Structure 1
Amino acid sequence: MKIQIVGMSWYRPETFAKLRAMFEDGDKLHNTYEEWFAAAEMGRKRMEAKNIKVICVDIDPDEFPKWCKENKMKLNAEARNKFSSLIAYKIATE
């Protein structure tokens, strides 16, 4: 039986505004943490209803830019998705 696992970028209320401001595509995120959280929870629950294991990966405003620089990536959705997928993979295979 295959288990599908997805890493989902996750934000904390206290860092959401800072992250949104630093992301190149931050204007495409919801305006407030509450709006983002409601949408993210709906997405997470939809995936889990399809038997997909969701690993919520915290995006830290200090560590994520360092990771992007080390991996020659911009601070955008592509980098967030890649970062979340890599962390989820590490967690799932430990």
Structure 2
Amino acid sequence: MKTQDRYCAIPYYRRNPYDYLRKIAMDKDTFSMSYDEMRAITEARYHEMEESGFKACKIDFDAEELSDWCNRQGVGMNPASRTRFAMMKLKKLIDTSILLP
């Protein structure tokens, strides 16, 4: 019997959107580190999740898309909303067979 694959969405920011997110996020302390520091933490988290048995998926964040989504959902830009956004994007990748379960 095949076991169920477990996916994990890892928000993956590019340099320019990261700088923009630093300005508009409600949790500015989350973005107090430099882009390079954040990128190193993200890479470490990705590998930790893979080693834990998850299929870690780097979810590229477009800051304007995220901002628009938060506005449509009526939520602030905070860790919970970014997590929901990443999970929604991951689900779309799986549903459209871009990522095969």
Aligned to 2:27: 25
Does the Cα contact within 8 Å between 1:30 and 1:36 map onto a contact in 2? no
Matches within 5 A, 1:1-94: 1-94=3-96
Q: Whose Rg is larger?
A: 2
Letter in 2 for 1:37: R
1-structure distance, mates of 2:5, 2:62: 27
Does the Cα contact within 8 Å between 1:20 and 1:29 map onto a contact in 2? yes
Instruction: Give unmatched runs, 5+ long, in structure 2.
Output: 97-101
1-structure distance, mates of 2:83, 2:41: 16
Where 2:71 maps in the other structure, the secondary structure is helix
Q: Using the aligned pairs only, state the percent identity.
A: 23
Instruction: Give unmatched runs, 5+ long, in structure 1.
Output: none
Greater relative contact order structure (CA < 8 Å, 6+ sep) = 1
Deviates more, 1:8-17 or 1:31-40: 8-17
Per-residue CA deviations over 1:42-61 (Å, capped at 9, x if unaligned) read 01100001220112112212
Dislocated runs of 4+, deviation >3 Å? none
Per-residue CA deviations over 1:13-54 (Å, capped at 9, x if unaligned) read 122111111100022234211000001100110000122011
Letter in 2 for 1:50: S
2-structure distance, mates of 1:22, 1:58: 18
TM-score between both structures, scaled by the size of structure 2:
0.85
Deviates more, 1:38-47 or 1:56-65: 56-65
Give the superposed CA RMSD: 1.2
TM-score between both structures, scaled by the size of structure 1:
0.91
